[in-house]
Amino acid sequence: LSGNLDASCLLEKIETLTHSAHQEPYRALVIDDSRAQATHTERILNSAGIITRALNEPIDALEVLAEFQPDLIILDLYMPDCTGPELARLIRQDERYVSVPIIYLSAESDLDKQLDAMNEGGDDFLTKPTQPHHLIATVRNRAQRARNLKAHMVRDSLTGLYNHTHILQLLEDAGVRARRDGRPLSFAMIDIDHFKQVNDQHGHPMGDRVIKSLSLFLKQRLRKTDLIGRYGGEEFAVILPDTTATAAAKVLDSIRQRFAELRHPAQPDDLSCTFSCGIAELSDQDTATLGQEADEALYQAKRGGRNQVRL
């Protein structure tokens, strides 16, 4: 880790390194009408530490995909109810699975038929009998690249925080979990005060530095289980699982105070910045309404004079 990495960049690098050091095993969904064939494929993958789920009825594919959340799919070509390519087309129609790798595994040796199948949303074609090492390497490489791509797609490039779309997806998931487990859940919206002035007086690059500095501040001071997103330009959203609105307000108010004390190096004078924050807690409302309530509380914080946290 050499040279001119700034603090937020360094934190990101460390996160990436620790993540890859003990990352989750890959998950492969094996779809094959033959139980024997599916079991054979599963054994090979399991021997390499890859978690598998076999599916013999293609009809259940979308349901199992949603539940099992595989990194990739290994798909048979010929099945009684529908062909592999037909199923691949169906899977690709769901926006959640547009980029999940699909590897055909079949005894079909006709190159034209293989290419036809590839053109229907497949990424690779392995012919049976396949070399176990070839299968394992293909699955590992495809799964890792799909993970890298996904990790990249859900992040905001300036701060490395979750982007707008993904934080809303995470809020929905967290809402489902909180309701199921009967645990509290809070959602906070943060907006930097008079940010236009920062840009106007110190330039856009300085504005970007303040945004990065707040994002680093939030990462350092919130819990590891809290989820932080960049909601818009100088707006942030935080999901606080297992946290009541009162507890969330306490945490965010302490962050607010400390952030306001920071001096950001600038010319001709260092500058300080504050933020306002609105918080709402999940009860019976849907997560879209929860977001609106946090936004309304944020608006009240702005109207109340900024640099404050409101419930």
Contact 74, 105 (CB under 8 A): yes
Q: Give the binding site for Mg ion (CB under 5 A).
A: 33, 76, 78-79, 191-192, 195
Contact characters 132-171, ligand GH3, x per CB under 6 A: ----------------------------------------
Q: Beta strands 185-192 and 235-241: pairing type? A: antiparallel
Position 311, amino acid: L
Three-point CA angle 111, 139, 92, nearest 5°: 70
- Distance between CA 48 and CA 131 in Å, rounded? 13
Answer for which of 19, 49, 57, 233 binds ligand GH3 (CB under 6 A) is 233
CB of 214 to ligand GH3, least distance (A): 12
Residue length of the chain: 311
What residue 274 binds from Mg ion, ligand GH3, none (CB within 5 to 8 A, per partner kind)?
none
- Distance between CA 231 and CA 51 in Å, rounded? 34
What residue 296 binds from ligand GH3, Mg ion, none (CB within 5 to 8 A, per partner kind)?
none
- Distance between CA 39 and CA 41 in Å, rounded? 5
Residue nearest to ligand GH3 (CB): 233
What residue 285 binds from Mg ion, ligand GH3, none (CB within 5 to 8 A, per partner kind)?
none
What residue 306 binds from ligand GH3, Mg ion, none (CB within 5 to 8 A, per partner kind)?
ligand GH3
Judged by CB under 6 A, does residue 299 bind ligand GH3? Answer: no
Judged by CB under 6 A, does residue 302 bind ligand GH3? Answer: yes
Answer for which of 65, 161, 192, 240 binds ligand GH3 (CB under 6 A) is 192
| Angle in degrees, 0-180, between the axes of helices 245-261 and 204-221, rounded to the nearest 10 | 130
